[in-house]
Amino acid sequence: MKKIFICFTLIFYLTPKQSKAQNEGAAAIGGLLAIGATIAAVESMKEQAELTATEWLLSNHPELTSFYVRTLDFKGKKLKDMSAVSVITFKIREFEPSEDDIEYGKKRVLFGFTSHGWISEYGIDFNKVSWFFIDDTEWMNMMVAYVKVASAQSDVRQIKETLETGKVVNKGVKIKSKLVIPFFELDGDMYVVTDYSQDIKLIYNERSLGIYLKGTSDLVQIRRSTIIEIHDFLYPND
């Protein structure tokens, strides 16, 4: 009888703890599965975006006969946040197929500017994406205009020479470790604007490049890290 009593006592004390541990374990596993599902969904959308970018190039630039498309930046936010305005960037490079070494050629960057609601539970609506295809010359023109609006430097030739050998960083344009062109220090709610073309305005805000799309009235913020990556891709300084 005493042994039976002891067994019931042990069961009474152990069962809640085991149940709690099981609940916590189930919650942890559920959380990991949710994270895994989100990552898988983002990767799926990334692949879909890359495929659509390739299809856009094939339709709009038939002169490209051999090239690669690689995602440079795809914002992996939570699914509920990804419907906001953003930009997807792709590295494009031509090459010559060969049995030996592949010869790489001209580099370009493809921007996919998204509008509100471009992602929903039904997938990606690419009718809400505006495509801009630029080469190194156009990128340099954009960066010169951006540096002009972001700094006190107005000499286009000097800005271009600095950009060709330097890098755009958070505080300005650097050549090696020297800050050659410092940017204005602005608060987060301050903007300086330049009317770049019939399609876009360039906006300098602290730590970002803003692109205002006139056609959709959307303001897209490009992260400084993305600007650096694009510039390093088009103008590598090893």
Residue 101 in any domain: the answer is yes
Q: How far apart are CA 77 and CA 98, in angstroms?
A: 39
Chain CA centroid to CA 116, Å: 16
Do residues 202 and 183 touch, judged by C-beta distance below 8 A?
Answer: no
In a domain, 208, yes or no: yes
What is residue 13's predicted lDDT score, i.e. its pLDDT? 42
On whether residue 27 sits in a domain, the answer given is no
pLDDT one digit per residue (tens) for the chain, 238 residues: 544 444 444 334 444 444 444 455 444 444 433 444 444 555 677 788 888 899 999 999 999 999 999 988 765 333 344 446 778 899 999 999 887 788 889 999 999 888 777 776 666 777 888 899 999 999 999 999 999 999 999 999 999 999 998 888 888 999 988 999 999 988 778 889 999 999 999 999 876 788 888 988 888 888 878 888 899 999 887 6
Domain that holds residue 107: 36-234
pTM, 2 dp: 0.75
Q: Taking the chain, what is the end-to-end CA distance rounded to the nearest angstrom?
A: 82
On whether residue 86 sits in a domain, the answer given is yes
